[in-house]
Amino acid sequence: MDLSYTQEELAFRDEVRTFLEEKLPKDMSDKIRRGEHIGKEGHELWHSILNEKGWLSYGWPKEFGGAEWNAVQRHIFEDECAAAYAPRIVPFGLSMLAPVLQKFGSKEQQDHYLPRILDGTDWWCQGYSEPGAGSDLASLKTRAVRDGDHYVVNGQKTWTTLGQYADWIFCLVRTDPDAKQQEGISFLLIDMNTPGIDVRPIILLDGTPEVNEVFFDNVRVPVENLVGEENKGWTYAKYLLTHERTGIAGVGFSRAGLDAVKRVARQESANGRPLIENPHFAARLAQVEIDLMAMSTTNLRIISQATAGQAPGVESSMLKVKGTIIRQEINDLARRAVGPYAMPFASEAVEGDNDPIGPDYAGPVAAQYFNNRKLSIFGGSNEIQRGIIAKVKMGG
């Protein structure tokens, strides 16, 4: 198996690099590098810059106006974006809902929603998890009852990322409580401005309101907002999750994070010498770098298989587990590298509006450490992924 890039792939990488040098706003990449948030406007601006180039819909098929990049092109793009400290593309509309609409949505739904996702008219959020229905998602209880040409929705979603910005939420709802768990679920598109919806922030460990609870009290949703068939939502939900887990290894983010730790460890000192020369710190740094190199090779191997037409199976679980362990270890090393300056942690640091105590790179380090505890929980917790790996590799 040849894991090196072809001439065309190298040319594509140069094109991406040039684009990022020319179009990625400097103040935006500075914020990302410092671990600050860029807010709704920042994300919308970055989406519009990509959309102008035709690269926002890079994973979409050509028939829906997408660039239809292959797995290698996507990998190169994501790697280069991370290295340049570009913001993450907000995935909910673009790479979660859109593939579901493209495969299972009606023509009217595709014509209406897809262009609005691209031009930024609609910000989407994901209404899957509920209290008591996370890993065991199929036990969800939010109820939708048919009443004429509407569904009436009652219940609660939770952990809804950036739901405070959202115009729309795609929701899994129970339409048949008597059917077997997976068979009574439907996939509904709900306008967040409908009366009866209440969004309440959950403050995460880093002090920011990144996620929310969303309550539904007799919310009336037109039946044309049902995707596909009633009670077939589990099929669409699972299809969406295969898209949620792509790019999950986060190789580019880890590489950028590791470079940052090395920079800091050269500036900080321990016992009168640069921290990077401290044997204990250097050993941890070397170990995580070795793990990252190994994972990066595994990632390329899986991409190469995907390009040859094989769907990734249990490998995406392996990448999820390993990738998140590596990112969390890098966050921990960053926190240790700045020592006591990680202590005066203030959530304002990630919003960019307070003066850091200590060097400017120290401000958001603790916040990032705390925030990234989430990596091993969402997108299917690491324990669940280990269960999948064990089942496939060891049987049972």
Ligand X SMILES: Cc1cc2nc3c(=O)[nH]c(=O)nc-3n(C[C@H](O)[C@H](O)[C@H](O)COP(=O)(O)OP(=O)(O)OC[C@H]3O[C@@H](n4cnc5c(N)ncnc54)[C@H](O)[C@@H]3O)c2cc1C
244 is catalytic: yes
Which C-beta is closer to ligand X: that of 133 or that of 261? 133
Judged by beta carbon, residue 99 or residue 127, the one nearer ligand X is 127
* Shortest Å, Cβ 209 to ligand X: 11
The residue sitting closest to ligand X, measured at its beta carbon, is: 134
Min. distance of Cβ 135 from ligand X in angstroms?
3
Q: Is residue 123 within 8 Å of residue 40, measured between CB atoms?
A: yes
3-state secondary structure of 190: strand
Give the whole-angstrom CA distance, residue 199 versus residue 213: 6
Q: Rounded to an integer, what distance in angstroms lies between the CA atom of residue 38 and that of residue 20?
A: 17
Nearer to ligand X, 77 or 168 (CB): 168
* Start-end of H helices in 54-148: 71-83, 91, 98-104, 107-118
Helix axes 314-337, 279-307, angle to 10 degrees: 150
Please say whether the beta carbons of 218 and 154 come within 8 A: yes
Nearer to ligand X, 175 or 296 (CB): 175
Whether the CB-CB separation of 331 and 206 falls below 8 Å is answered with no
CB of 343 vs ligand X, minimal distance in Å: 24
Determine which one of 130, 244, 268, 329 is catalytic.
244
135 or 267: CB nearest ligand X: 135
Kindly list the residues in this chain that would bind ligand X in the complex (CB under 6 A).
126-129, 134-135, 159-161, 211, 374, 377-378, 381, 383-384, 387
- Least Å distance between CB 383 and ligand X? 3
Q: Least distance (Å) from ligand X to the CB of residue 389?
A: 12
Token pair recorded at residue 242: 């295969």
Q: Which residues of 27-51 are buried (b: 16+ CB within 10 A; e: fewer)?
A: ebbebbebbbbbeeebbebbbebbb
Residue numbers annotated as active site: 244
